[in-house]
Structure 1
Amino acid sequence: MIRRLTLKPFLFSSIFLAAAAALPAQQPSADQVALLRLGNGIAAIAEGQIITQQELRKELEPIIPRLRVEARNQQEFNQRIEELSREVLQNMIDRIIIVKAAEKEGLMVPQSYIDQEYDEVIATDFGGDRAVFLEFLKTQGLTPRDFRADLYKRIVVNVMRQRNRMSQSEVSPERIEDFYVRNKLRFYQNEAVHLRQIILTSIADEGLPILRQTARTIMQELDNGTNFGDLARQYSQDDMSRRGGDWGWIERQDIRKELSEIAFDLEPGQYSQPVELNGTIFILYAEDKREEMIQPISMVRDIIEEVLSGEIARETQERWIRDLRSKSYIRYYM
């Protein structure tokens, strides 16, 4: 049973003015004004539990600075605040009804698990300093008992959500094939080469003759079977030298035309002759190649299964939470 009540304009205005009067004498910031618009009354009641507008404001406060940066103007900022207020309020309601559902099912969360999560928060967010943690709780008007109770509820919500996710085994081969047929263009791949390079550039007064001599030495070692990556680590003068000259998968447009034409003519395991460009010498090596094509389903089956599993999980979650809402007593006041 869900009912929604809307505050009348005069009541909304009086709440806003009363909240503004409670502020210090200085002019409130735009962010404070946006939050004050929520007033000090009741935002909603879910399963007999009241959610106040003050509690809603607390949930929104950490998000306000990001919204302020992202909004292009005041009107957009106010609109986002209104949208987010409804979204955050719904999340608060959902937490209440999920915990209620867990209690009906007799879900048990071991105290040791709550203690572990409690200590983890102190260690991760407060550097292990309990005094700082307790001071933070005081600023939020919370006691350690309040924090543990909230932590318990959040753990219960996470457990209940996980229990209502379908596993990957739910994705049938027929659904995978149907997705592939309908989305073939998503699996198009450009021609590419897995490229390694040795790049020789002048240092100090070195000129091309010295670089050419180094290049000849490298070519002799390559002809004798020395590993290209080892030679790149030894001779190459670029940031990729530590990785054996590995530039990863490169498409034609990713590098200069003079180099791409040579790189894409190489077969896997082949290396080029030295290439001179503007006083720099390049030696290229094709680690692997892939052709321009739509990848066959055998290559993308795992990707599709992961996508579909995510879709099924979201659909399942939405159905589950809609069903919980329909069976719960929820009353909206904003």
Structure 2
Amino acid sequence: MRKGILLVNLGTPDSPAVADVRKYLAEFLMDERVIDIHPFLRLLLVRGIIVPFRGPRSAKLYGQIWNSQTGSPLKYYSRLQQQLLQAELGEDYVVELGMRYQTPSIEAALNKLLAAGVDSIHVIPLFPQYASATTGSVMAEVMRLLSRWVVIPQLTLAGAFYGHPMFIQAFAANISRYDLSDFDHILFSFHGLPVRQLQSSYHNGHHCGQEGCCDRLTPQNQHCYTAQCHETARLIAQEISLKATDYTVCFQSRLGKQKWIRPYTSSVIRDLAASGKKRVLVVCPAFVADCLETIQEIAAECREEFIQAGGSDLLLVESLNDSPLFIRMLREISEVPKGHLWA
């Protein structure tokens, strides 16, 4: 019998057409783990405001990163990771790809594993740091779908890999393609989350919600998304011999007016320009494949904002994409029989 591996990433519209982008946004933002407010208020917010008004703008942005041959960068690189991992693992494994939102769906991927006759399923959410809105949502959806099966195979769920040595080395290798002496500062920009979500995930009260409370990973905050982001940045910085003053950890992709994790990437790049920094290199270790948030938000929008504020250039370090080190890490995680937290 063969073992099943399910890789899961966030998802992407099927095309940059406004209708497809609206469909994607609706499914994504209606997830109660993404916008965790009363269902009726979420419905009004998403269906009545965000999707109608944000859809056309988002469609334009997706159109700017869409490849006429390969389509969505996120789907292309995720599919490539699936294929490379299958080649690494060999015939004893069946590797499928599912997207939490849109296609290929998690349900379709699970059905393929069922049809292949696997005797176990190991789920690997492709999110280095744990968040309820990403890894948590994937795990909840997998369990919801499998609960309908008459026979449920052995199921294991991989944990966060924010500190896995090969994950750190893979990003360090990508950074090493650049001459760091050419840059005045390094930014580690992670996807942001509302502070409220961090506070609600800590029933023991350890997460105080104040800036700086999770700048370092401790036994008390080891499951905190912010602390895991800081630990990832610290380990990569250590791998490439950066001093603490050489880099800043910040958070991008805010939505709405509520308080999100700080400092905000947009604020940091303006401050750097104002302080006389001319060249900045940005690393996005919350993403294992280049996507809208890296290619468009950082490499295009943030670069333009930095130059307008007085900087000379801002460059993006490529994500892991088809990195051999990252594929080797996925192979190692695939062969771990139980979920494991790499700290």
Q: Which has the larger radius of gyration?
A: 1
Instruction: Say which structure, 1 or 2, has more relative contact order (CA 8 Å, 6+ apart).
Output: 1
TM-score bracket for the superposition, by shorter chain length? under 0.3
Q: TM-score, normalised by structure 2?
A: 0.23
Question: Which has the larger helix fraction?
Answer: 1
